[in-house]
Chain A
Amino acid sequence: MILEVDNLQIHYSTRDGTARAVDGASFVVPEGRIVGLVGESGCGKTTAVRAIMGVLAENGRQAGGRIVFKGQAMDEATTRRLRWRDIAYVPQSAMSSLDPVYTVGSQLIEVLTKRGGFSRTTARARSVELFDLVGLNERRLADYPHQFSGGMRQRAAIAMALALEPSLLLADEPVTALDVIVQRQILDVLRSLQQRLKVSMVLVTHDISVVAYLCDEVVVMYAGQVVESGPVREVLARPRHPYTMGLRNAFPDLLSDALELVPIGGSPPDLREPLSGCRFVPRCPFAQPACSLDAAMSGDGVHQSACRRDGEADTLRTAALDPRTWQRSSSFAMS
């Protein structure tokens, strides 16, 4: 395992109380694999990834749990040392992630010289290589960020992330801001890079089709916790947690059957409130009274699910395929 996240807790202090953005999330990233971190906005996936980079906002802090990278527990000093050199980040919007007043090339060289210790000449040569790697013309090095198109900017962001040859790449919604055709291109770039450079990746997204296209493993998050994890094919074909079942329904292009889009009613809980038991209860069509008490992970070591009714997964899954299941919440959930 190149990365192990163990019972991570990230808290934000807000005017209205402490928001527990990540509340006991655990997952692992096997070496050389692409792990998709999927969930709705606000589920804590971006926070978790930023915590790994050590760049939480001023009012955020890691309140518990461990992050272990290459067998080493990550404290502030280690994080600062390893930043970009071994763990790098691909942002969602490269437009706002690049300084608008410097050329892309100079920002690349900045990272190479200041963090990588290369000489300017070597850095320049290396930036040409990096652009080549992501399919960008080297003449673009002299351009400013606003002169790039969306897809090209993401390629540049990927090049920037790979500059110091990190072992782990954290990609935060890297294709969300792009149109579908360009999305595929960028995902292909990521895939080919991953295969060539043997880089491990965590791909954060809310789009399950992206996960299906690119990832080897998937970790599903909801309300700050991990609710299901396992190999991609397995989890998407045979989801064991009602939330994943609902997510899958929301992206019917994955399934060969032409199903109608079925949104999951309701919205995620307020993370500032104290919550107990399974957090999906208010929106879950299969909720039972016992669900509010606890929700521990169960399942074989490979495919895990945090649902108490894991044993009945097959029955629930069939019921989940029927849109009417989602239109009425369970009688318990309504109370």
Chain B
Amino acid sequence: MELSGAFDNILADLSGGASVLWLALIGILLIIWDAFKNDDAALPWVAALSVVAAVVLEALRLQDTTTTAFFDLMRVNGVASFVSIVILLSTLLSITLSVPYLKGIRHGYGEVYALILFATSGMLMLGTANSLVTVFVGLETMSIALYILTGLVRSDEGAVESALKYFLLGAFSTGFFLYGIALIYGATGTMYFTEMAGGYAARELPVLFWAGVALFLIGFLFKVSAVPFHMWTPDVYQGAPTTLTGYMSTASKAAAFAALILVLFYGIGTLPVAKWQMPLALVALVTVVLGNLLALTQNNVKRMLAYSSVAHAGYVLIALAAGTSEGYAGAIYYLLIYALMNVGAFGVMAFLEWDDKEGRVQMLDSLSGIGWRRPLLGVTMGVFMFSLTGFPPFGGFFGKIAVFAPAVEAGLTWLAIVGVLASALSGYYYLRVLYVFWMRPIESADRAVRERSFPVPRLSAAVLVTCAVLLIVIGFVPFVRDMTQAFFVGATPAGLL
């Protein structure tokens, strides 16, 4: 067997994939550490610092041209670094918020942080993939870790049941997703995104290919909880520990959307025929409308935020349906802003729980006047809610411009109009939260119950304030938006060469 030369690029590969490998390595170290010193208080901070290191590394590579590593299995630098930063940022913020929260619900195990790092490692592989193999492996590593984190509070019926629901539907969708990969592989003869167009042209098996793409998209739409594959979202988001819900709803969505963007931009999108746009536009339409309508009727804040995250997946899909460079750029820009808003919103809710059920049964009304009692939480929640609605000058507004404008340019004006109308509708349920927080009188009767909510440590407060400040300033820093556009405009997909 001839193997010489197989590892000539090993150093470049290792440095290219450094974040993925680094987080996995630290995760393993944490597991060993935890075995010797159970639930050590320093453990989560080691995890957080390792994520900081990865963020710094990826930030240094943002300006470099996007290339590939590990036999073209993954992308590095440029857009891959941007996606990695979004995922890592959401991880970092979630870990910091989780430390006091998980301690409060008495489930601050050391293993949790190792699992978060492993999940993040899988997400990075998924979000920077250039091959169907890395998509599959990254997706599954992420999903399996998330199933476990969902059922973390397993003495509680609700938590285990939501883990079960997540797992069953996830495993079921994996079957379809994999069937899609198999058919695409058969129709193109390759696992690489960038070789799809060439393989497709050489073989001429359109029925096989498009059937494969359809099944493949079903798998993705499930992971990003687009209608009609969203049924798991409210139950899972409601049942999982609150700060981890924030992590799940942002990082895993960013990773899955990034992989979808890469496969569309470098692979399926380079094919001469574009049959995927209209179905995607229709899915986006249904997702936006149904997500917002269902969110209107919710009285539990976590459940409302779950439906709102369905709606936000719809906004990103609107940009993808445009199928242009601007659309992809807008989508990854939106993912960054969405991560800040949603981690923050779930973070605030985590510190306002007093039902001993991870906020599952707590209704919005029980938060009457809480803004006056916990002004920090009230004010930051105000920023997150305004931003989620899309009010200027908050980040959400600029994010929505970034996703709707490409759709208009691509001739999908009707879709953008529906998107705008739906966001106007969403103002009702987001602002209702603020109304209850600030305008309703404090109910003194259950003041004693309220004392049981978690105190906000300084670091967590700093995280919430950071999210809020970033959301206020990000719209005025055109640098970020310009950068995302440069990723896709400058680069020609290799499949077209």
Partners in one complex: no
The residues of B with any CB-CB pair to A shorter than 8 Å are none
The residues of A with any CB-CB pair to B shorter than 8 Å are none
